[in-house]
Amino acid sequence: MPERRNIIPEASVITDFAITSINVPDRLDAQEVRARADADGESPHPRPDVFRSFRHWAFGIAALAALTVLAYIGFGALSPLWQQTSADGISSRLTRAVGQPVHVAGAGLRLVPTPRLVIDGIEADGLFKVDNISLRFSWASLARVVQGAGWVWGEATVGPVEMTTAGAFALMRAVPALSAAVPGSITTIRFENVRFRDAGLLPGRYQITAERSEGESFSRLTLAELGTGGRMELGVSIVPAAPVTFRLRAFQWRPPFGPSLDWNEVSAEGSFGPGQLQVDSYSANGFLGVVTGSLQAVKSAEWVLRGTVQTTNIDLTAVQRELRRRSNLPANVNVPLPIQGVMESSGALSSRGATLGEALDRISASGKVQIRFAALNGINLGARAVQATESGNGGATRFGDLEAIAGISSGSVRIKDILGTSGALLVRGTIGIERNLGIGGVLRAEVSSAGAVAPTDVRVSGTLFEPVFEN
């Protein structure tokens, strides 16, 4: 086989490789050359410094022009707002709404810790005095104003507030009129830490919330007591030229009048106005039982109070234990209490006083009393009537029926027309219990069976918890 021979001379191959690799740089080599030239400041097309300076100045002038336009637009949008939220502007609006001069010490926008309008020193002579009012708003609301949209306020907070009852009533009456002076976007006004200087019936601290009704008027108020273990809320509805209606709801609450007792649940509803209070119905439910009724109070020379009262399931054992506790007497759980049973009553209320609170504290009640499962401990009246013994305590008298006419006034109790029956035994009499728990009266016991002795009169003395029975 003939030998293969290279048809391309060896010298020619070497020469072609040298020319390709050394004298003709490829595309990557060209990029590397340009990169090195730029790094060494030897760009073939250098940019003059004056162009860079002009660009910086142009950007600065454009930014300044934009800020100027925004400031102009913002001033035009906020200028009416600043006029309305100035102290003079707010004072004028409140004066027109209330119908008498209202002074405003100062007003201004504050951005920290939250954006709000703060109004200081609001005072109407003879009506009310408020340290400050805060109207909250959001940054989004401020942006809306700059864009030409309406201002949207949040909740208004007022306080602390101290006022008289007359001032509180006048302010309450003025609340619907104030609706015209308050921006429509404010739907809630919250009065925080409110105190009443001369209101014995409102002795604590309260929060009052005013809400707009569907008619765009602040006609609903809610008063809530602060800093107590229970909960009390008084809802008020205001209608121009009409008595103010109210509804009271309370839980684990001690009323500021009457017996100092905590009630599990209390409710009442009615109306009030200058010199008058009408309680259409009230109810109090507690460990002693249930009390319901109605009440009316009118002021002329003094407050005159009239009403009705009904009691249901009054546990006389619980009542006497509460009396022992208040008198700092030992419980004596092994000694039976003088009277046992479950009481129901129906009667009338009456009172007079220089103030409404005084009239409520002096309230008197009288009416018919019935006691179910009644037992008089310490004496057996049936045995006393039959045996005609002169003295001695012991035993018990259990009644099938026991009723009387009872009256409570100034802490004293008068029980008359007592009528109790137990089989052939008939008991009549009168008993009085003083504030110091001293007791006195007479019980006449008579057995109607044939051959019985004459009726026996038993004198009652001593104290409620240590009675003495003597013929």
Work out whether strand 161-163 and strand 188-196 pair parallel, antiparallel, or are unpaired. parallel
| Domain residue ranges of the chain, discontinuous segments joined by + | 56-242, 378-471
The pTM of the whole model exceeds 0.85: no
pLDDT of residue 75: 43
pLDDT of residue 114: 75
Angle at 205 between CA 200 and CA 210, to 5 degrees: 105
| Host H or E run for residue 322 | helix 316-326
Ramachandran assignment for 236, one of left (phi > 0), alpha (psi -120 to 50 degrees), beta (any other): beta
Closest CA to 273 of 299, 250, 254, 248: 299
Contact by Cβ (8 Å): 359, 370: no
pLDDT of residue 348: 97
pLDDT of residue 51: 54
Within 8 A by CB and 6+ apart from 415, the residues are 369, 404, 405, 406, 430, 431, 432, 433, 441
Distances (CA, A) of 433 to 195, 246, 258, 315, 376: 39, 37, 18, 18, 15
Dmax (CA) for the chain in angstroms is 173
Closest CA to 415 of 454, 371, 462: 371
pLDDT of residue 70: 46
pLDDT of residue 14: 44
pLDDT of residue 265: 96
Cα 469 to chain centroid distance, Å, stands at 52
pLDDT of residue 133: 84
Q: How far apart are CA 219 and CA 424, in angstroms?
A: 64
Tokens standing for residue 60:
């600065």
Q: How far apart are CA 224 and CA 202, in angstroms?
A: 11
pLDDT of residue 185: 74
H helices present in 374-470, as ranges: 381-387
The length of the chain is 471
Number of helices and strands (H, E) in the chain? 9, 23
pLDDT of residue 427: 95
Mean per-residue pLDDT pooled into runs of 10, the chain (471 residues): 47 45 50 54 52 55 50 46 70 78 84 78 76 75 56 75 80 76 79 83 89 75 88 89 90 87 94 92 93 96 96 93 85 78 96 92 95 93 76 80 94 95 93 94 86 82 91 81
